[in-house]
Amino acid sequence: MALFLVAVAVVVAVVLDRRTKADAPTQPTWTVPGQLDRADFARPEAPWLVAVFTSATCGSCQGTFEKAKILACDDVVVDDVEVTARKTVHDRYGIDAVPTLVVADGEGVVRASFIGPMTATDLWAAVAEVRFPGSSPEPHLGQESG
């Protein structure tokens, strides 16, 4: 009888072990604000804002700002929001990864964003698409996926 109970316990343990699935590893997620207060950034009267959230210790951040600053013109202000110089702005918008780049309209609505390094071509195409819809052959650039 004891042998039978041990055998049943082993079978139950094997069945339960097979049914137990390991949780998929969690993927990191980072915050991208959906709305900005334009008063927190340079030239709030400009029709478009490219806000580049950076850190002085981040190697890829400098390259990101260099790509973005070429977009600056009368209608587009490019603002480098470096974390040590403007920590309150990072905190206000929940920025937890750098570089984070957002493109916002005159009302502060975020129309496109990138987290991490991006190509100059992708950035410029995304800004062109939000300013002039239909102008990019890849209108999804800088848009949230899924």
State the pTM of this model: 0.77
| pLDDT tens track for 78-131 | 999 999 999 999 999 999 999 999 999 999 999 999 999 999 999 999 999 999
Q: How many residues does the chain have?
A: 146
Structural domains in the chain plus CATH codes: 30-131 (3.40.30.10)
Residues 6+ apart with CB under 8 A from 121: none
Instruction: Give all strands of the β-sheet with 48-54 in edge-to-edge order.
Output: 76-82, 48-54, 100-105, 110-115
